[in-house]
Amino acid sequence: MPGPTKFRHYTKLTMQGAVAVAVAAISATGDGLGAWAVVGIVIAGIATIVALEAQPELAAWTNLRFRHWAIPTCTVVLTALWAVSAVVANIASSESDVDEARVVGLAAALLGTLSLIAFSRFTWWIVVAVSAATAVSFGAPAGTELRVFATALVLSAFVVATTLLTVWGVRIVDELEQAKDLGAELQLAEERLRFARDLHDVVGRNFSAIAVKSELAAALSRAGAGDRASAEMDDVKKLAVDSMAEMRQLVRGYRDIDLDSEVAGARSLLSAMGCDLIVEGDPDRVPLEVHELAAWVVREGTTNIVKHSTATSATLALGPAGMSLRNDGVVGPVRERSGLLGLAERLATSGARLQTTASDGSFVLEIHWENT
């Protein structure tokens, strides 16, 4: 999973786990709670967990149908529990029943604040209204309404503030991921602009000269100055040959990669995703004739780690007879990757051999070029 998705899963499961623990603790340690009160609190906890699962800010997967029925259903369940508890608190003759109704009603109000009100548009106004309604409904005996209101308001405000800060953290992680993607896109656009500028500077002038000289040669030919027209066409031919050579040189420089630069780039890229790269050996130990080949191995191997693992550690070993790139954090079964297949084909044309092994959550990419 990408980092933001994992963080969203962690955040959601943490909140749901906290709700489950709180419900279990209240049900197990509540003095004198009857069976109906325990059942009510458990139902409120289940509704809260389902509502958190359906909130778009916390959902790591998109299921609009689930959200359409889950949030309204949970709202109805929690509201019904609160209303039933309020009725019981006002009509019950037994003090224990009144106390149980207050516990269930307050739990329903707080859990609804956590899973529903905190994600609504008018959060704070609804918090004040629910706290006031709770004070009026559960404030008996007379004179305790203000105390119940203050208690409900403080607890609800704490729950809302905690939830909003949590959601804010999730959004920050999303924005950082988007910024990273945008930075990569900008780098790619910059490189394309650089290549276009170099292409224009290198070839544009020669093409302009070819156009002018071709037009001049045509004019001289029509005027009967065949010798001068022939000389101009010779210049056109020379310019065309020079342009082709400069074009090849430009493209070759654009496509060539350097082993030292690729190792430095791999260390920087893996560090950004939380993976430490350990380099054993030195790029100078790699034979010069396979430097470019080794650079391609480092580039493709690093891409493979970023795309297909959750590695926290990687080791790059360089030697005169071959190289290897090992990483941990392999997720699921290892399948053939198109990038590695392309790399194997590139190595085969140079006489080198590629070997991959996967065991105990680690993946090893080995290259041997001792016979090249």
Cβ distance 105 to 151 under 8 Å?
no
The residues with which 359 forms a beta bridge, in sequence order, are 362
What are the residues whose beta carbons fall under 8 Å from the beta carbon of 17, sequence distance 6 or more? Answer: none
Tokens of 27: 């049900």
Which of 158, 177, 196 marks a domain boundary? 177
134 exposed, middle or buried (CB, 10 Å; 0-12, 13-18, 19+)? buried
pLDDT per residue as tens digits for the range 264-285 = 888 877 776 678 889 998 888 8
- Strand-strand pairing, 276-280 and 313-318: parallel
User: Would you say residue 253 has pLDDT above 80?
Assistant: no
pLDDT per residue as tens digits for the range 212-242 = 788 888 888 888 888 888 888 888 888 788 7
CATH number at residue 239: 1.20.5
Q: What is the pTM of this model?
A: 0.52
Do 16 and 132 reside in the same domain of the chain?
yes
Do 70 and 145 reside in the same domain of the chain?
yes
Dist. CA 234–CA 252, nearest whole Å? 27
Do 167 and 20 reside in the same domain of the chain?
yes
CATH number at residue 272: 3.30.565.10
Which of 146, 177, 208 marks a domain boundary? 177
Structure-token match 């529990």, residue found: 81
Do 65 and 150 reside in the same domain of the chain?
yes
pLDDT value at position 315? 92
Do 276 and 171 reside in the same domain of the chain?
no
Dist. CA 73–CA 75, nearest whole Å? 5
Q: Could you list the residue range(s) of the whole structural domain that residue 202 is in? A: 181-255
Percent of the chain with pLDDT over 70: 88
pLDDT per residue as tens digits for the range 5-58 = 788 888 888 888 888 888 888 777 655 677 788 888 888 889 888 888 888 888
pLDDT per residue as tens digits for the range 173-210 = 888 877 877 877 787 787 777 777 777 666 776 777 78
Do 238 and 287 reside in the same domain of the chain?
no
**Count of domains in the chain?**
3
- φ, ψ for residue 356, nearest 5 deg: -125, 140
Do 158 and 171 reside in the same domain of the chain?
yes
Cβ distance 123 to 112 under 8 Å?
no
Do 339 and 190 reside in the same domain of the chain?
no
The residues with which 103 forms a beta bridge, in sequence order, are none
156 exposed, middle or buried (CB, 10 Å; 0-12, 13-18, 19+)? buried
Do 328 and 186 reside in the same domain of the chain?
no
User: Would you say residue 130 has pLDDT above 60?
Assistant: yes
Do 25 and 69 reside in the same domain of the chain?
yes
Do 217 and 92 reside in the same domain of the chain?
no
Which of 177, 212, 237 marks a domain boundary? 177
The residues with which 315 forms a beta bridge, in sequence order, are 278, 326
Do 143 and 186 reside in the same domain of the chain?
no
Helix axes 95-115, 145-199, angle to 10 degrees: 10
Dist. CA 41–CA 281, nearest whole Å? 62
What are the residues whose beta carbons fall under 8 Å from the beta carbon of 230, sequence distance 6 or more? Answer: 217
Residue 141: which pLDDT band, with cuts at 50, 70 and 90? low
Dist. CA 108–CA 13, nearest whole Å? 20
